[in-house]
Structure formats: structure tokens, C-alpha cells
Copies of this chain bind each other. A is one copy, B any other.
Amino acid sequence: MGRRRRSGQRAGYGVIREVEGIPMAQPASANSAPAGTRLDRRKARTRQALIGAAIGLIAEGRGERASIQEITEAADIGFGSFYNHFDSKEQLFRTASEEALERWGQMIDRACAGLDDPAEVFATSLRISGRLGWTHPDLAGFITGAGLDLLAVPRGLAPRALRDIKSGQAAGRFAAPHPEVALSAVAGGLLGLLRVHQDDPEVIDETAVDQLAEAILRMLGVSTQDAKRIATRPLPQLEAW
């Protein structure tokens, strides 16, 4: 196993399953074929098509206003199949948000694995996510479409950022306002950045992302010099998406 490619799995799109014998965490939404029978894989494909359509519709700003018919058409599946997977639009949108954001959250976890200063983990996460407009426009579009509802999703970015803010406070690294209030300001800044980039790509470059990170660090109580230093450090390499 491992090197022998399964029939039905196309070359060039394989996902790294293990590195030197150590299994990597597999996000639930990985677009590789899941284990199980061929029927299971077909069902998973349909489910993923629905989730992808939901994410695309949120990115278009038509989020919850889309009808189930529009969703299944975008997913290119039969109308009735929707109910094999989800009980309601709300459930689909919730699931889709959680999966997309959690997948990105785990990506960030891996990118920040080498860092220990909470302020640096926080800033690095923000700087990587602020670059989504360039690196992962689809995900960026989904996030701008979701807006502050992002904060209500119990997985993905918000819980991680809140964890970092709190541990930064505990470590005396931050002297922030109320953590959830600070988190909401951070989310607002990130959303603003992604939206400006979307609407007007020329007026924003990557230094604007680092300037936002620097400003947010100052907001959280980091000194001016420290904020500048942390926000201009080299960024870790991202894995393949």
C-alpha cells in the first residue's frame, strides 16, 4: 500500500497520507477518496459536491438565501439527493463552514508548529490568513461571504485565535481588552483586508497584511517595537492545500 495507486484515483492529485511512516492528520474534507466501499466513496463525492456548492454560494454572497434547488444545481446532483445528506440548508451551511475553516485551521496549526511565543503564533496565523486572497482565493471568498458569522463557528479560525489571545494574556504577552471583544476586532480587520483585496486588488499588497498584523498586536498591548519585529519575521512555508 502507500505507493500503489488505487484504480479510480487519478495521478497528480494524490494527498500525502504519511511521511516517514508517521500518519498525518487527515482532514475530514480532504478531496481524496475516503476508505470504505465504492458506494461509500460515491456517497462522499455527492456530499462534497454539496459542501463545495454551499461554499461557492456563500462566497457569492447568496449564502442562506439560495434555494435547495439552486444548491443541488450548483453541485450538479439531483434535487432529492440533498436529503440523503442533510436535513436542511442550515445544517449544510453549518457543516460546510466548519469543514472549510477547520481544514484551514489545521493547516495553520502545522505551519505554526515550531513557534512557542503566543504573540508570534497569533501574528503568524493572522499573516498567513491575511494572504488568503492571493494563496487561496476560493477560501478567501468564502470567508468574506461569511462575515462575522465566522465567530460563531465552533471550529476553524475563531477558536484558535481566541485560544492564542487568552494564552497570550496568561503569559503576560498581551494586555488586551476583553478577549472576545478583541477577537471580534481581529476578525473585523481580517475581513476588511480580504474584502479590500477582493474589490480592489491593486491597492493592497502583502505589506498591508503585515501592517495590519502589526497594528493588531499594538491593539493587544504589544509594544511598538515588538509589534514591528514580530510582524516582519519570515513566514513559515505552507504545505500543499
Interfacial residues, chain A to chain B (CB-CB below 8 A): 64-65, 147-149, 151, 176-178, 180-189, 191-193, 195-196, 203-204, 208, 211-212, 214-216, 218-221
Contacts and interface: CB of A to CB of B under 8 A. Distances in A.
Contact of A185 (B177, B178, B180, B188): B188
In this complex, the member of A64, A193, A214 whose beta carbon has the largest number of chain B beta carbons within 10 angstroms is A193
A186 B215 CA distance: 12
A13 to B, nearest CB: 35
Q: A interface, by DSSP: helix, strand, loop or mixed?
A: helix
Copy count, this protein chain: 2
Contacts of A196: 178, 180-181
A148 B147 CA distance: 7
Contacts of A177: 189, 208, 211-212, 214-215
B176 A184 contact: no
